[in-house]
Structure 1
Amino acid sequence: MNAFPELGPAPLAFITGASSGIGQALALRCYQAGWSLAMVARRGASMAQWAAEQGLDASRYAIYEADVADTESIIAAAQSCMQQQGLPDLVVANAGVSWGVDTARREDLDVMQQVLQVNVLGVAATFHPFIEPMRKRGSGRMVGVASVAGLRGLPGHAAYCSSKAAAIAYCESLRGELRGTGVSVLTLLPGYVDTQLTKSNQYAMPFLLSPEAFAEKAWHLIQSSRSYAIVPWQMAWVGRLMKIIPNALLDLALENRTRKNRHLETLD
């Protein structure tokens, strides 16, 4: 079943984190499918350079500089989008950060606060401006990009895992709130994707996907009526196992696992 059964010739996608990685790859996939783009990130110059390199038609995209960690900033970008391009048919809350933390260190509490601000509140702030307009229109698709890491806590990943678990629960709550309005919510849980956020990981990353490969799989899920999906399918089986494995076995399996680096550079 298609999630967009009655769209016109040039539907609009609003995508955060569009300056690199998953967001950029999703933007290109949408464009290739004939969609117009509202690309959002902190680095406007990077998005402009990429769009020029790709030869994108300037009439089919707009760039909005915004930081999802700043609620008023992302709301302003959304409002500008609706004024300049109209109400999107698709909103993808993708921007995120990933740092390892050590709760024994006081400074890492501040890092954790920032991760939660971006990865949880940033998703809600991205969706917020569009909810009532989409509800009144009676259609729309909201996609929250979470992570398989949100299924269980991993040593050294307390900030990231907890933020993605919260994002999963938030999207599920929003889906229930919008039931029957014509506005649907899809929660995407990527496994490992080869982006700047994972390049410094010093541990095995099974079933690693390129951003383009992930975007292709995600695009088909966005077009479907699915409300929840883990990508790729192999990682879905890992996710199911993670949910049911007893704590003692999980702790044993992760006992000597290399932890995530602390305080990586912020990327969107």
Structure 2
Amino acid sequence: MTAPRPARPEDGLAWITGASSGIGRQVALDLARSGWTVVATARRQGELARLAAEAPQGRIIPAAADVTDAGAVAEAARRVEAETGRPIALAILNAGTYLPDSAAGFDLAAFTAQVSVNLIGTANALAAVMPAMIARRSGQIAIVSSVAGYRGLPRAIAYSATKAALIAMAESLRFDLDRAGVMINLINPGFVKTPLTDRNDFPMPFLMSVEEASRRIVAGLARGRFEVCFPRRFAYILKAMRIVPYAVYFPLVGRGTGRR
């Protein structure tokens, strides 16, 4: 059995969902500038066109689709593979949204929207590329979750729930994909300055620029480690919190976030 290895530009295309802004946009640019041909997927065709114009000529191929529409996502992947004659070798499943929430203002529609984009949208993209990778016994899939998935956090009822599910999804996939020759990676960023984190009205420790976050993601994927998490200090603090008893965890996080 051949161990999975990180994908390289000569293997085929890189595909990034949620590529119109934030981390996805920057990773698309950085991969394109390093020799990849990148398929950029998001809902906003205009933003994708502007993204493609910033990259070296022909290195970013816009492929607009809503990740919550399984048929549209599958068709976007099929179409670019057919048009280029190259397979998707690296899939970075990054599309996500964040709507701050609380028990007092619980909004079922907002909760459902986050589940649809963050979790089901990722599953839709998986279904579009994973079978072909397994069939040819090569490829790399990166699932973008968050350190917010390590434990439940204030004002992140839906967000923490979906990100925890993505972590478990990637862990479960690892058992099967290792044997299939397909590499699976889990990306867990902390606070990165993007349009999503701009919605926060609380202090964000270790806030990182999107350029630095992208650099760490690209380097981490090339190294082939299962988990790429950053900033390291913040991620390890939250990892340690997973074994802290509830009697300590709730008062500690509550005081730190002004929620107790």
Length-normalised TM-score, structure 2: 0.91
Residue 51 of structure 2: aligned partner: 50
Change in Cα spacing, 1:258 to 1:123, as seen in structure 2 (3 Å) is farther
For residue 104 of structure 1, report the CA deviation from its aligned partner.
Answer: 4.7
Rounded Cα–Cα distance in structure 1 between residues aligned with 2:72 and 2:91: 16
Partner of 1:34 in structure 2? 35
Between the aligned residues of both structures, percent identity stands at 34
CA deviations 1:204-249 (Å, max 9, x no partner) are 1111111110010111110112112311211222122221222122
Structure 2: how far apart are the matches of 1:11 and 1:34?
11
> Which residue does the alignment assign to 1:143?
142
Note the residue ranges of structure 1 that are not aligned, 5 or more in a row.
260-268
1:56 Cα deviation after fit: 2.4
Q: Secondary structure at the match of 2:211?
A: helix
Alignment check: 8 A CA contact 2:52 2:61 kept: no
Separation in 1 of the partners of 2:113 and 2:26?
25
**Residue 80 (structure 1) shift:** 1.5
In structure 2, the residue matched to 1:25 is: 26
Q: Displacement of 1:155 after TM fit? A: 2.3
Partner of 1:242: 241
Aligned to 2:186: 187
Residues of 2 paired with 1:76 and 1:157: CA distance? 32
Equivalent residue letter for 1:3? R
Say whether the 8 Å CA contact 2:9–2:35 is kept in structure 1.
no
Q: Residue 13 of structure 1 aligns to which amino acid in structure 2? A: A
CA contact (8 A) 2:30 2:214 kept: yes
Give the corresponding residue for 2:158.
Answer: 159
- Give matches, 1:1-268, under 5 Å: 3-4=5-6, 7=8, 9=10, 11-52=12-53, 54-58=54-58, 60-85=59-84, 86-105=86-105, 108-255=107-254, 257=257
Secondary structure class of the residue paired with 2:185: strand
TM-score normalised according to structure 1 size: 0.89
CA contact (8 A) 1:3 1:222 kept: no
The aligned length equals 255
In 2, distance between residues paired with 1:92 and 1:8?
A: 14
Query: Which structure 2 residue ranges, 5 or more long, are not aligned?
Result: none
Question: Are 1:87 and 1:130, in contact at CA under 8 Å, matched by a contact in 2?
Answer: no
Deviations 1:142-172 (A, max 9, x none): 0000000001111221100000000111111
1:200 Cα deviation (Å)? 2.2
CA contact (8 A) 1:2 1:223 kept: no
Aligned residues of 1:116 and 1:159 also touching (Cα < 8 A): yes
Residue 8 of structure 1 deviates from its aligned partner by 5.9
Could you say if the C-alpha distance between residues 220 and 231 of structure 1 is closer, same or farther in structure 2, counting changes exceeding 3 Å?
same
Conservation of the 8 A alpha-carbon contact between 1:152 and 1:242: yes
- Deviation of 1:51 after TM superposition, in Å, equals 2.2
CA drift at 1:183: 0.5
Structure 1, 21-30 or 74-83: larger mean CA deviation: 74-83
User: 2: distance between equivalents of 1:196 and 1:8?
Assistant: 29
